[in-house]
Copies of this chain bind each other. A is one copy, B any other.
Amino acid sequence: MMFNDLISDASKAAPMKIYDWPTGPYPARVRIALAEKKLRSPVEFVPINLWKGEHKKVDFLSKNYSGTLPVLELEGGTFLAECTAITVYLDALEGAPILTGRTPYEKGVIHMMTKRAEIEMLDAISVYFHHATPGLGPDVELYQNQEWGLRQREKALRGMHYFDAVLRKQDFIAGDFFSMADITVIGGFIFAAIVELAIPQECEALLAWFMKMQERESVRQQLEVISNN
């Protein structure tokens, strides 16, 4: 990081606290967005231990009713949950690159492709993990529906083929520039690695895109954090 970046960091945003878990696929989405926006330095990370189910305990549920990570705490004591909401917030602060679009058209397409990346890949893999594998262990996974989990695994594999088809026609998930939608599919790759769900070899455009994504400092750093933990 260059000195100029550090200066703009300090002036840019008030202190923020992020409750997350450093290797989690959803936390990765916000960490990558923070790095892209050069907003990591005003952030203090507070670990919530997923493997101990801390995200399902009363104290954390008062921060986020849905019991998911990450959560951003703003200076006034507001808790902001949901990766898309946090990314929209960060993106609306000053600073390039814009991750959620400039024009109505860009905003619409990026939000659509982000949601689609969740439904068809990232969330589907998450449901597979929590329902059809040991997940976070018997103390945390109090209810599992294996059949539903296995259906979601198949859905995610179909989703990979869909995104491969998208990337045969354009360079990024939502068009011709990097956006929140790419970050969401990267989250899908991170979760796929955790559950050992291989990206099908025939998804050549998708695999080539992921290689290209790793050239970005924001993505490379987060993948290093994950492989070092």
Contacts and interface: CB of A to CB of B under 8 A. Distances in A.
Contacts of A162: 65
Given A65-B120, A78-B105, A151-B143, A111 B85 contact: yes
A72 B112 CA distance: 11
Interface residues of A, number: 35
B120 A108 contact: no
B145 A115 contact: no
A89 B108 CA distance: 5
A165 to B, nearest CB: 9
Nearest to A79: B112
Contact of A116 (B66, B108, B119): B66
A147 B145 CA distance: 8
Interface string A142-177: 010101100100000000001000000000000000
Contacts of A11: none
A88 interface: yes
Interface of A: 65-66, 72, 74, 78, 80-82, 84-86, 88-90, 92-93, 103-105, 107-112, 115-116, 119-120, 143, 145, 147-148, 151, 162
23 contacts: A65-B116, A65-B120, A65-B162, A66-B119, A66-B120, A72-B108, A78-B105, A78-B109, A80-B112, A82-B111, A84-B111, A85-B109, A85-B111, A85-B115, A88-B104, A89-B104, A89-B107, A89-B111, A90-B104, A92-B108, A93-B104, A143-B151, A145-B148
Given A78-B105, A85-B112, A89-B104, 5 more contacts: A72-B108, A74-B105, A82-B116, A85-B115, A88-B104
